[in-house]
Structure formats: C-alpha cells, structure tokens
Structure 1
Amino acid sequence: MDLSTLAVFIPACFALNMAPGPNNLLSISNASRYGFVRACSGGIGRLLAFAIMIALAAVGLTAVLHTSELLFLGIKLVGAGYLFYLAVQLWRARPEGDDNEAGLASMSRAGLARQEFLVAIGNPKAILLFTAFLPQFVDRTGTVTQQFAVLGGLFLVLECIAIGLYCYMGIYARRLFARPSGKRLFNRMCAGLLASAASFLLVARRA
C-alpha cells in the first residue's frame, strides 16, 4: 500500500469517524454523566464491534446483508429499538445525581462498553460502510486480507481519537450545563438526538 493511497484514506476515514452518529452522541452523553475516563473506556465496546465488522468485510460475509432484506431489516429494528430505549432512559434520568458518587457508580465501565457495543453492532449501515468504503483503497493485485488489516487498524486508531474528542465535548457540555435544570435540558437534548438517530435508522435502506 503506497503513501498516496494512505494520504487519501486517512482524512476521508477521519471524516467518517467524526460524523455525529449514534455512538458519538452516546459518548457525549456518557462523558457528561460519568466522566471522561469512564466514557472513553466504554468506547472499547464500539471498537470491538467495528473490529468484528471489519473482519466480516474482509472475508466477504457482509455481502449477505446486501442481498438479504430480511436480515437487514432485523438488525435495523433491533438497533433502532435499543437506541429508543437509551433515549427514554436518558430522558427520565435524574440530573441531581449526576455529580455525586452514587450517580458516577451507577454505570460501570463494562456497562458502558456493552452499551457502545450494542449500539454499534445494531447499526446495519455501519456494517455496510466497511464493505462500501474500505475496498475502495484495496489493491486487488496485492494481499487483500493484509491490506484490510492495515486499513481496519488505521480506522480503529482514528476512531479512538474521535471517541476522545467527543468525550471531551461531553465534559465541556457538563460544565456548560452545571445546574440541575441545565443538566436536565442537556440530557433531554441528547435523548432527542438519540431518538432522531433511531428514526433515521428505521428509514435507512440498503445501499
């Protein structure tokens, strides 16, 4: 893989990493409620889900999603349902408990990682992204699996940067909405964005 390919891939990939999708919105919300370190740790779940998707794309299994409307619909409904569930939980959250020890302990790192994993793995458009985007930078005359590994690894590294940046946004938002009324407003704004993401997912079609 030559440097000219990477010079095009890295900025294009980072633009995708920074797109305000469901996982990035979740990172903002989690950072505002549980802190920067815990929210970043939860991003491990997202990285695991994306690593699985990249592996499936590398062996061609995601082609099944392109041909199976039923499978695509099933994953889409489960993913949208989980996003709606998170939106309702966030809407009903008590902002008074966000900064005390009990509020911070209400969700473990494993729990946040599980949230991130389920949101990522339940988005069929994310799965199809890897079959539509990564192959454009693969030289078919070379070792395809090795190139997928390099490109996938770079994607995950850039995703780590995106997680950190979005979690920092969440910390900034927590300071901006320091009062309980402000926290409630911020929680409900995030809940509305997650519900909107779920709605967009419901109307998504296979590319």
Structure 2
Amino acid sequence: MIRSKTTFQTDGIENLPRKSNWWHVRQGFVVAITSPKAIAFFVAFFPQFIDPTQPLVPQFTLMAVSFVILDYSAVVAYAFIAQRAGTSLAKSGAAYWINKISGGTVLVGATMLATIKKSAPSH
C-alpha cells in the first residue's frame, strides 16, 4: 500500500454481473438473523419494553417495524455517504494518501505485535 502509485480503481465496475435487489435482501436477512451479536442485542433490549400484562404480538410487531424502519434509514444514509465520499475521493486523488496512511498504520501495528513480549502465565 505504501509503495502503490494507483488510485481507486473504478474501471470495469459497470461490467460486473448485477444481482437482483431481492438477492441482496435475502442475503442481508440471512446474515442478520444468524448474527450472534444481533440476537444478543434483541434478547437484551426488547424485554425491557415488553409489558407482560398486554398482548405480546402487537408489542413485538411495533418494535420490529420500528427497528426495520430505523435500520433501513441508517443503511440508506451510510450508502449515500459512502457513494458520495467514494466519488469525491476517486476524483480528488485522495486514494494515494489513503493508501500511504493505511499502509503505514498496518506497518506500525505489525511492528508493535512483533515486539510485544509474551509474559509467562503466573499460577
């Protein structure tokens, strides 16, 4: 990365095979539903807002719909920002400096890992 003279490569992106939107939705759903982090979040978060004296299905439905709307809004915002930033960075030549900084960070991290002495466990 440090020695690279290239910038962000956008050539040929339009020639990549396009998958359907439903494929992406299904893929995202499978990833989200099997994520241990997401499961732990819902198990810890949802019960705080459940009233056991009221019907459970409407409560879960309201929370699930609210979560989907908020999550979708956040993902769309991230995608919009990433698209704008990617286009701007590709045009401005900032990729050169991003490569240099990223490569330097990797080297510093590798050097730190290589010089850390592992102490023997005390019993």
Query: By the TM > 0.5 criterion, same fold?
Result: yes
Q: Which residue of 1 aligns with 2:24?
A: 112
* 1:157 matched to 2:69: yes
State the 4+ residue runs in structure 1 displaced beyond 3 angstroms.
Answer: 105-108
Measure the CA separation in 2 of the matches of 1:164 and 1:153: 16
Instruction: Kindly indicate whether residue 14 of structure 2 is the aligned counterpart of residue 101 of structure 1.
Output: yes
After superposing the two structures, state which structure 1 stretch, 114-123 or 162-171, moved more: 114-123
Alignment of 1:133-172 (within 5 A): 133-172=45-84
Shift of residue 127, structure 1, vs aligned partner: 1.3
Q: Secondary structure at the match of 1:178?
A: helix
Greater relative contact order (CA < 8 Å, ≥ 6 in sequence): 2
Partner deviation per Cα, 1:142-180 (whole Å, 9 max, x = no partner): 112221111111111111211211111111222222258
Say if 1:112 and 1:97 are closer, same or farther in 2 by CA, change over 3 A: farther
TM-score (norm: length of structure 2):
0.57
Structure 1 gaps of 5+ residues are 1-93, 190-207
Task: Give distance in 2, aligned partners of 1:127 and 1:137.
Answer: 16
Aligned-CA RMSD value: 3.1
2-side partners of 1:117 and 1:160: how far apart? 12
List alignment gaps of at least 5 residues for structure 2.
1-7, 103-123
Q: Give the 5 Å matches for 1:44-55.
A: none
**Structure exhibiting the larger radius of gyration computed from Cα positions:** 2
Identity %: 31
TM-score (norm 1): 0.37
Q: Give per-residue Cα distances to partners, 1:67-106, cap 9 Å, x unaligned.
A: xxxxxxxxxxxxxxxxxxxxxxxxxxx93336x5313x44
Quote the Cα distance in structure 1 between the aligned partners of 2:95 and 2:23: 25
